[in-house]
Amino acid sequence: MKAPALVEDWRRALVARGASPATQEAYTRDVWRFLRALGDPDELTGDDLGALTQPQMRGWMADLRREGLGKASVGRALSSVKSFYHHASETHGIRADVVRAARGPRSPKPLPRPLSEKDAATVLTMTGLDSDHDWVALRDTAVLTLLYGCGLRRAEALSLKGSDAPLGETLRITGKGSKERLVPVLPIAREAVDVYVAACPHPLTPEGPLFVGVRGGALNARIVSGAMQTIRAAMGLPDSATPHALRHSFATHLLSAGGDLRTIQTLLGHASLSSTERYTAVDEARLLEAYEQAHPKAL
């Protein structure tokens, strides 16, 4: 079978899987660009595609970079070609080993953007100031205190059950990948949760959610983001000051106070130390900024 027929067969499969017209167009454009790099697409056969070599694959990706495509765009193009080859392999037996083994260029992860210690503390005192219900303000304060005081993810805080209250000195958290970790609980976090539980007008059952909405159902994560957005606007903080930024602040402030990376990795539940090491770069950047602002020769 010739390449154009293979492409059309694959495109129909994309349609059957519910791919949007924009996705179909982008993926198909990527694959045709790839085929033109191999030769005349109208003349290429399934055997030609199966005979693809690693140097050809690397050369194609290098050409994309030379043409000015960013790493993300090259990665998307590779995903398109992988999808095409996977379908061709499954339906027409075309070898796809070289394509399956190909790895796109790695895009560096952006550095976390934590709040300053002063701003993080202020956030916790301003939570819920515009709320119509006092207990809602206490609830939001408790949630955000857990993010900053314990380094929890938003979803982890909202997954707590009524049976978790009152909080003890440690909290068993099930994070990403269903991995469990023990997190120390600061007195301020225990107190914030206790005050919320005492004020909550809805009954909290052992198996039900600890944090509930105004109607008594599980608290929606968007409500937490909305509370943080209100605080952000009141304090004049950047858009990066999200609930997750409080978790970043937890890690960065621990590191600044002398915490070691392995301990912080455990507290955050990172599977890889490389994820935690990003906070080292944040700390170094903050030190350099302070140096440039305060050192006599920098003034």
Which domains are seen in the chain, by residue range? 3-101 (1.10.150.130), 117-241 (1.10.443.10)
Residue 197: predicted pLDDT:
97
Q: Does the bond joining 166 to the residue before it have cis omega, within 30 degrees of 0?
A: yes
How far apart are the C-alpha atoms of 199 and 136, rounded to whole Å? Answer: 9
Q: Is 279 a residue of the active site?
A: yes
Give CA separation, 196 vs 137, 166, 170, 200, 201, in Å: 9, 11, 19, 6, 10
Mean pLDDT, range 126-147, rounded to an integer = 90
- Reduce the DSSP state of residue 110 to 3 states and report it: coil
Structure tokens at 53: 């070599």
What is the Cα–Cα distance from 133 to 151, expressed in whole angstroms? Answer: 27
Catalytic entry in 139, 190, 270, 278: 270
Strand, helix or coil at 172?
Answer: strand
- Which of 153, 154, 181, 253 does the annotation list as catalytic? 153
pLDDT above 70 (res 50)? yes
Report percent pLDDT > 70 for the chain.
89
**pLDDT, mean over the chain:** 87
Task: Pick the catalytic residue from 33, 76, 82, 244.
Answer: 244
**What are 55-87's pLDDT values in tens digits?**
999 999 999 989 988 888 888 899 999 999 999
133 flagged as catalytic:
no
Q: Is 262 a catalytic residue?
A: no
Is the full-model pTM beyond 0.75? Answer: no
Contacts of 289 (CB under 8 A, 6+ apart): none
148 is an active site residue: no
Q: Which position has the higher pLDDT, 286 or 164? A: 164
Type of residue at 217 = G
Residue 2 near residue 42, CB atoms below 8 Å:
yes
